[in-house]
């Protein structure tokens, strides 16, 4: 990801809750001496994402990441940050980010799964369920559906369902791609495709025209 795109992502979609560091673990407080430090850490971890994916993300009306002292999780629908309404929020624990990055990054994987599958709408399949707002994305989504029953999820949580499989594999891809390749080479290859800039320039990334899941902001 280019520096310019990264700055746009940080300004528009990455946030830190007011007491995120103060109320986090001692390890997180040592790692993050300033309030904005975990945001910088998160941004550096997301830098591996391609510009095309980030541009797509920024076009969606929802899709935010908030670093907090609470547990890491993804919340579809409406949320609140400093009395401002935000939609489709990945909450990332500052403690997880320092001590267990897979747990911290998995909610971001959930968010992208939702946005890529049906543009963050309440109805419709997520990418990991065979959805997709572009033909190329739908094809990848169907691959995830086919790969999940093979049972190669790298941990027990990744074997729970297709959404967890996608989100946790995404997190491990960012954290330790070689480990993911050893545990599940086919999903590693899928993420290598999805997170390549060339994929986002493909002609198959044009909007779907079948009345499916490509309506509205996804363009």
| pTM, rounded to two decimals | 0.91
Number of domains in the chain: 1
Structure confidence at residue 135 (pLDDT): 92
Q: Residue 4: what pLDDT?
A: 93
CATH number at residue 38: 3.40.390
* Domain boundaries, position 70: 3-218
- For residue 82, the model assigns a pLDDT of 78
3-state secondary structure 81-147: ECCEEEEEEEEEEHHHHHHCHHHHHHHHHHHHHHHHHHCCCCCCCCHHHCCCCEHHHHHHHHHHHHH
Q: Give average pLDDT by consecutive 10-residue segment, the chain, 219 residues.
A: 92 93 94 94 96 95 95 91 88 96 98 97 96 95 98 96 98 97 98 96 65 48
* Distance, CA of 130 to CA of 121 (rounded, Å): 15
């Amino acid at each position: 990801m280019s520096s310019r795109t990264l700055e746009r992502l940080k300004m528009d979609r990455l946030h830190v809750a007011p007491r995120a560091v103060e109320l986090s673990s001692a390890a997180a407080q040592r790692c993050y001496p300033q309030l904005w430090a975990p945001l910088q850490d998160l941004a550096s971890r997301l830098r591996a994402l391609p510009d095309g994916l980030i541009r797509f993300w920024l076009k969606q009306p929802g899709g935010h990441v908030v670093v907090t002292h609470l547990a890491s999780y993804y919340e579809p629908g409406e949320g609140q940050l400093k009395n401002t309404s935000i939609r489709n929020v990945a909450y990332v624990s500052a403690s997880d980010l320092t001590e267990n990055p897979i747990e911290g990054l998995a909610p971001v994987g959930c968010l992208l799964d939702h946005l890529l599958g049906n543009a963050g709408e309440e109805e419709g399949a997520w990418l990991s369920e065979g959805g997709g707002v572009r033909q190329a994305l739908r094809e990848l989504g169907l691959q995830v559906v086919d790969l999940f029953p093979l049972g190669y999820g790298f941990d027990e949580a990744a074997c729970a369902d297709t959404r967890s499989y996608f989100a946790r594999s995404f997190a491990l891809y960012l954290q330790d791609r070689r480990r993911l390749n050893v545990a599940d080479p086919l999903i590693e290859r899928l993420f290598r495709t999805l997170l390549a800039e060339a994929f986002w320039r493909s002609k198959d990334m044009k909007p779907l025209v079948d009345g499916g899941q490509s309506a509205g902001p996804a363009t």
